[in-house]
């Protein structure tokens, strides 16, 4: 008998209990049509859309940082990356609110340019970028670190700067790493609640006018603001899991395959 394996499986089951409960009750005894209504699917759509945009921003903005962390020896920057997700998430929502409120100079400036975070897709996406970027970076950094540096050193010897090396040597050869990091951070963005419940409880913009992100909609059912109650909350949660789980699994599967190669 392999005790390590037994303990590991028990620990894993413990982790998965909430998901199993939601899937079982949501699709079984508690199934409630309000949980898979058009409103729920609109909110899942909004979550998918805003998370996908956030991940696109992650890739553009934070790939260089992940590479910098992987190849430089900047311990300070490395420890700073995690900070946004190590504070209570609603605080980030509050911070964005202050940043773009008429009471702050930055807010006056931004609002003067008609840039509004509150209840907009922009605010939603910015919050999701901040909450998913640390996961993206922490997924890309070890990927870069695990690559042999020899082609990069050669490219730099030929006269390429670090940035040029990243774009011309490393990235064209990093499709697997980029895909898996994107999927993993997308599933992180889909699961975000705290910050977006402050900055974009619902969106007041076409084509999602009056639509809340999926996690907020589930909360709405649970808190009784939307009719359907606990049963609808659990059913909507199960629907959300069915959408989000394949994305998370695909991300890890791609990474796993690339390790095996």
Could you say whether residue 172 binds another protein (CB under 8 A)?
yes
* Residue with the two structure tokens 């599933």: 187
Site for another protein, residues 97 to 126, rule: CB under 8 A: none
Give the other-Cβ count within 10 Å of 222's Cβ.
Answer: 17
Question: Which residue in the set 8, 173, 209, 225 belongs to the binding site for another protein (CB under 8 A)?
Answer: 173
| Distance, CA of 197 to CA of 216 (rounded, Å) | 6
The nearest distance, CB 251 to another protein, in angstroms, is 23
* Residue closer to another protein (CB basis): 164 or 259: 164
149 with 231: CB under 8 angstroms? no
The nearest distance, CB 168 to another protein, in angstroms, is 8
Q: Partners of 211 in the beta sheet?
A: 203
| Distance, CA of 207 to CA of 145 (rounded, Å) | 41
Site for another protein, residues 149 to 168, rule: CB under 8 A: 150-151, 153-162, 164
Length of the chain: 261
* Residue closer to another protein (CB basis): 115 or 163: 163
Choose among 132, 129, 141, 128: nearest CA to 177: 141
Burial profile 43-59: b = 16 or more Cβ within 10 angstroms, e = fewer: bbebbbbbbbbbbebbb
* Residue closer to another protein (CB basis): 112 or 157: 157
The nearest distance, CB 73 to another protein, in angstroms, is 11
The nearest distance, CB 51 to another protein, in angstroms, is 29
- Within a 13 Å sphere around the CA of 88, how many CA atoms are in the beta-carbon half? 5
* Residue closer to another protein (CB basis): 31 or 147: 147
* Residue closer to another protein (CB basis): 13 or 151: 151
Could you say whether residue 72 binds another protein (CB under 8 A)?
no
The nearest distance, CB 139 to another protein, in angstroms, is 21
The CA-based diameter of the chain, rounded to the nearest angstrom, is 68
Could you say whether residue 145 binds another protein (CB under 8 A)?
no
Under the rule (CB under 8 A), what is the footprint of another protein? 148, 150-151, 153-162, 164, 169, 172-173
């Amino acid at each position: 008998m392999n005790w390590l394996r037994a303990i590991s499986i028990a620990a894993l089951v413990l982790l998965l209990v909430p998901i199993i409960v939601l899937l079982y009750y949501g699709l079984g005894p508690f199934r409630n049509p309000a949980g898979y209504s058009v409103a729920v699917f609109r909110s899942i759509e909004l979550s998918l859309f805003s998370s996908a945009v956030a991940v696109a921003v992650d890739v553009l903005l934070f790939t260089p940082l992940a590479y910098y962390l992987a190849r430089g020896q900047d311990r300070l920057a490395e420890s700073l990356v995690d900070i946004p997700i190590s504070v209570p998430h609603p605080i980030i929502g509050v911070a964005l609110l202050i940043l773009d409120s008429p009471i702050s100079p930055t807010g006056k400036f931004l609002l003067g340019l008609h840039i509004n975070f509150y209840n907009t897709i922009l605010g939603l996406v910015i919050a999701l970028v901040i909450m998913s970027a640390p996961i993206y970076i922490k997924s890309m950094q070890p990927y870069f670190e695990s690559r042999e540096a020899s082609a990069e050193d050669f490219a730099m010897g030929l006269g390429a700067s670090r940035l040029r090396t990243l774009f011309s040597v490393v990235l064209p050869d990093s499709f697997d790493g980029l895909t898996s990091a994107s999927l993993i951070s997308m599933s992180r963005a889909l699961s975000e609640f705290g910050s977006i419940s402050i900055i974009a409880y619902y969106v007041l913009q076409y084509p999602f006018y009056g639509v809340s992100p999926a996690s907020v909609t589930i909360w709405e059912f649970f808190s009784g603001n939307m009719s359907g109650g606990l049963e609808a909350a659990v059913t909507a949660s199960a629907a959300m899991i069915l959408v989000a789980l394949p994305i998370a699994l695909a991300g890890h599967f791609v990474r796993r395959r690339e390790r095996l190669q």
